[in-house]
Structure 1
Amino acid sequence: MSERLEIGEGARGVRTLVGRACGLDASTLARLRNYDEYSVEVVLRTPFDVLASRRAHGRCIRDGAVVAARDLLEALSGPLSPTRTELEIGPAHDPSWPGSLPPREGFVLLDEIPADVVRRLSDEGRALARQFSGPLGPPASLLNQTVLTVEGKTPRSLPMRMIFACTSLGLVPGPGVPLSVPRHLRVSASGRWTRIDAPFGTVYHADQSALLMSIPATRSQ
């Protein structure tokens, strides 16, 4: 059986993000969830161990369904109605999705970051990646390196992997976009999750150390 998705306004933005995610990893997965009463969120895995997402008007028939991103891209490549298009995507891949999704609600805004700062950090990180990358890509130490610390009720350290995800997926506006597009990114937090909302999509990253700290140690007998 094929998974189905009803999608309307915003579908072209979702198609762009899915295409870029497939360009980074042709075998990546997409997870569909109903974000609220009116919108659906497409969440994608990335090679940076960061989730990326974009929302559109619509509804997925089975909340939480996992599909191959390339199947979703193919379905989105046909004619799209500005009101509502029902897509047949392909078979489910639920067992292949590792981990959980970030919460839909509960994120607290911490700060806003200028887009040019994010681009500069990305350029500096790529210069280091070219210098130190091996056959498997940039070293984990570079991806995990803190590049920004956001203050607030729950201070957060933003790793380079989140910055790379934002720029590699084209979520940060460049100098040629219309002036009506915001030139800042919003950083929010909820529990172990950190979220960056950019003008063209969202990235999420979970602090695995916070998860480990929440698991009680097993006492030896």
Structure 2
Amino acid sequence: MTVLVAERRDLGVFLGRIVRLDAGALVRIRPSGPDHLTLWAALPFDVLVARTVPGSWLDDATVSAAELLESTELPRRRDSEWRGSLPPDRDWQPLDTVPADVVRNLITAGQKAFRAAGTQAAGESLLDHETLRVSTPGSPEVAVTFRLLLALARMAFLGDGPVGVSSCGPWVRLTAEHGTVYHRTASFGVTLLR
């Protein structure tokens, strides 16, 4: 079966970046309307990325990103290997938009801090650094960690337009000109037994 993609270059750019970050990465292909597909992938630093391209496919399929990059045919399905859930389709609360130049400056500063950190442990803590806090009146503040901005940079999703910040339950989403990144914040609950 062939995944029909109107713009093969869009698919190739997305898959190429995923494979450079993780040669064994999986990509999930889902129809998103009658003439578009949304491609999902999990980055090694706990961020989901998504890119919607013109095309068609019948159902939800998970395959090797590297194999799909090399073929126009759908590679062997690996649906059972996908780990984790996808973010909700609706009920997102728009919080703010941030100019692309501001986001670009934050990314540059974060990347310099990464290089200066020197150790993996220090780099891990930088990923969780709260780079922005955004909210709308009547809603709690939401932290945007550097891992989301790094994902925008690594996937080259940032264009000249503003970046939209929204949330839905434990999920935080950044919507940029060339793609979207998601992070699910950890939520811990304590239950007292009597």
Q: Give the TM-score taking structure 2 as reference length.
A: 0.89
Q: Distance in 2 between matches of 1:207 and 1:4?
A: 36
AA at the equivalent of 2:125: S
From 84, 106, 109, the equivalent of 1:124 is 109
Give, in angstroms, the shift of residue 38 of structure 1. 3.2
Q: Which runs of 5+ in 2 are unaligned?
A: none
AA at the equivalent of 1:217: T
Equivalent in the alignment of 2:5: 7
1:159 aligns with 2:145: yes
Give, in angstroms, the shift of residue 105 of structure 1. 1.9
Q: Deviations over 1:124-151 (max 9, x none)?
A: 11111112143x5863211011000011
Say if 1:128 and 1:60 are closer, same or farther in 2 by CA, change over 3 A. Answer: same
AA at the equivalent of 2:172: T
Q: Deviations over 1:26-46 (max 9, x none)?
A: 111111112233321000111
The DSSP-based 3-state class of the residue aligned with 2:44 is coil
From 68, 72, 75, the equivalent of 1:72 is 68
The DSSP-based 3-state class of the residue aligned with 1:42 is strand
Runs (4+) off by over 4 Å? none
1:189 aligns with 2:173: no
AA at the equivalent of 1:20: R
From 75, 81, 96, the equivalent of 1:90 is 75
| Number of equivalent positions | 192
AA at the equivalent of 2:9: R
Say if 1:99 and 1:133 are closer, same or farther in 2 by CA, change over 3 A. Answer: farther
Give, in angstroms, the shift of residue 62 of structure 1. 2.7
Q: Deviations over 1:179-220 (max 9, x none)?
A: xxx4211111111111111111110111122xx33xx73737
Say if 1:138 and 1:34 are closer, same or farther in 2 by CA, change over 3 A. Answer: farther
Q: Give the TM-score taking structure 1 as reference length.
A: 0.79
Q: Distance in 1 between matches of 2:76 and 2:186?
A: 30
The DSSP-based 3-state class of the residue aligned with 1:161 is helix
Equivalent in the alignment of 1:145: 129
Q: Distance in 1 between matches of 2:121 and 2:34?
A: 40
Q: Deviations over 1:58-90 (max 9, x none)?
A: 232332x21111112112xxxxxxxxxxx4121
Q: Deviations over 1:10-35 (max 9, x none)?
A: 54223212111111111111111122
**% identical equivalent positions:** 32
Counterpart contact for 1:110–1:188, Cα < 8 Å:
yes
Counterpart contact for 1:31–1:67, Cα < 8 Å:
yes
